[in-house]
Structure 1
């Protein structure tokens, strides 16, 4: 699913439930941060090795995937409310990063 399809599906889902009135830019940004905090709870106090080991448990992996999805959902709806095309924004940011952090030729 591309960004446009995702955005359309999320807006349709939201609007069918009458939630648009709650989805102001401020509320969506706050909600994204709240969900990101909940995602971080899965990693708090764990080493990278422990986190990767935990992802072998399908239930734990699904819980983390759900939190990542929640963050993406809120950010997609925020971009929609602000008139930002996510595909264009991501492509533009990649180009900026490529200019800012060019690859260096490594001599053999």
Structure 2
């Protein structure tokens, strides 16, 4: 998928920028936004062609990642910091 490669290229020559500097460069952010849109459009097309429930697939992947990578000490921290929690809040239209 060439769209994913084009997204990667946005970062390829800027690996020495910290996140804040990158976020403050409007041209870079605009380019990333455009390439992200291309990737998402392609992925949505694939979900349709392959009859994949994308929301369900993301939920399964987030749950698997939580089990693999979660090292937060408390349940409350785990709940509010987890990718699944952020995903659910985003799907509900809440700010993360």
Partner SS for 1:105: coil
| Partner residue of 2:13 out of 34, 41, 45 | 45
Q: Distance in 2 between matches of 1:99 and 1:46?
A: 32
Judging changes above 3 Å, is the alpha-carbon distance between structure 1 residues 84 and 43 closer, same or farther for their aligned structure 2 residues?
Answer: same
Is 1:97 the counterpart of 2:65? The answer is yes
CA distance in 2, matches of 1:91, 1:52: 29
Q: How far did 1:93 drift?
A: 1.3
For 1:59 and 1:86, the matched residues in 2 are separated by 30
Q: Describe how 1:16-55 pairs up with structure 2 within 5 A.
A: 33-49=1-17, 52-55=20-23
Give the conservation status (yes or no) of the 8 Å contact 1:43–1:51.
no
Task: Report the TM-score when normalising by structure 1.
Answer: 0.55
Q: Which structure ranks higher in relative contact order (CA pairs < 8 Å, sequence separation ≥ 6)?
A: 1
Structure 1 vs Structure 2 CA RMSD = 2.3
1:79 maps to 2:30: no
Larger Rg: 1
Shift of 1:95: 1.5
